[in-house]
Amino acid sequence: MDTPTDIYDSGLWFTAGKGPRYQQLHRHISAAIASGTLAADERLPAEREIADIAGISRVTVRKAVAQLVADGLVEQRHGAGSFVRASAPKLKQSLSNLVSFTENMSARGVSSTSEVLSHGLFAPNPDEMIALGLSATDQVARVHRLRSAGDVPMALELSSLPQDILPQPERVQVSLYEILRRRNQAPVRAIQRVTAVNVKGRDAELLKLPEGTAVLRIERTGYLVSRRPIEFTSGLYRSDIYDFISELGVE
């Protein structure tokens, strides 16, 4: 199925001073895919046709399409052209089981990676003080990570823990829970809150999503057996990839 061609008109996506043309075209097509304007398995016009419609060079179009392919949004079929990639089945994660991202991906046979964006010891902010029962004179360990699977960015997670629970946040490279278990201080229960938000700015860039895309925001507070809160994690999860499910029962 061919895509409509009028959506490639540069009047719809190009704004002077908002970055290179190929980046703006890439963002425009990404947004069209996210909104469903370009559906799965639809074929993009040839590079020459898009270039003619938009009044830009074929090199610019080629760079935009190459980025879409790298993002996993478009696939190039030999001899047939470029097509919107069909969405993969969403990853389902139970809200009833307390497992780490790494363990969740491993259980599905998916190779995962974790990029530490920042870490360190800081004075706690009001949210951390409330969630973890800390005072303004305490210190909190923070680890901000980009979680990916198969080179696809999946989630951004900012984890905060009391200093005595995680005195060396720089040690967290992959699995936070693995380190906590070694110290016999992993949470055994948690309370989670799930909301929908629109991703913006740097978060959108890191998740490779158009600005304003809806994502899932999860705030989790983890507790030890003693009921002490020792983990407060705030995460953004791609809603086009993730489904969070919960099991309900009748008492």
**pLDDT, tens digit, for every residue of 75-120?**
888 888 999 887 655 555 544 455 556 555 555 555 677 899 999 9
* 4, two tokens: 């409509």
Q: Mean pLDDT, the chain, as a whole number?
A: 83
Q: What angle do CA 229, 231, 233 make, to 5 degrees?
A: 135
Helix, strand, coil percentages, rounded to 5, for the chain: 30, 30, 40
For the chain, what is the radius of gyration of the CA atoms? Answer: 21
Structural domains of the chain ordered from first start: 6-84 (1.10.10.10), 91-245 (3.40.1410.10)
How much is the pTM? Answer: 0.60
CA-CA distance, 74 to 43, in Å (whole number)?
Answer: 9
Which ranges constitute the DSSP H helices of 86-159? 101-107, 126-132
User: What is the pLDDT at residue 75?
Assistant: 87
DSSP single-letter state for residue 43: B
CB atoms within 10 A of CB 52: 15
Using an 8 Å Cβ cutoff, are 220 and 233 in contact? yes
At 59, phi and psi to the nearest 5?
Answer: -60, -40
Q: Is 54 exposed, middle or buried (0-12, 13-18, 19+ CB in 10 A)?
A: buried
Give the sign of the dihedral formed by CA 59, CA 61, CA 62, CA 68.
positive
CA 238 vs CA 1, 90, 246: distances in Å: 27, 10, 18
Give every residue of the chain whose pLDDT is below 70, as ranges.
1-5, 35, 87-111, 150-151, 240-251
User: What is the pLDDT at residue 98?
Assistant: 52
Which ranges constitute the DSSP H helices of the chain? 21-35, 47-54, 58-70, 101-107, 126-132, 176-182, 201-207
* 6, two tokens: 């009028």
CA torsion, ordered 27, 32, 34, 36, to nearest 10 deg:
180
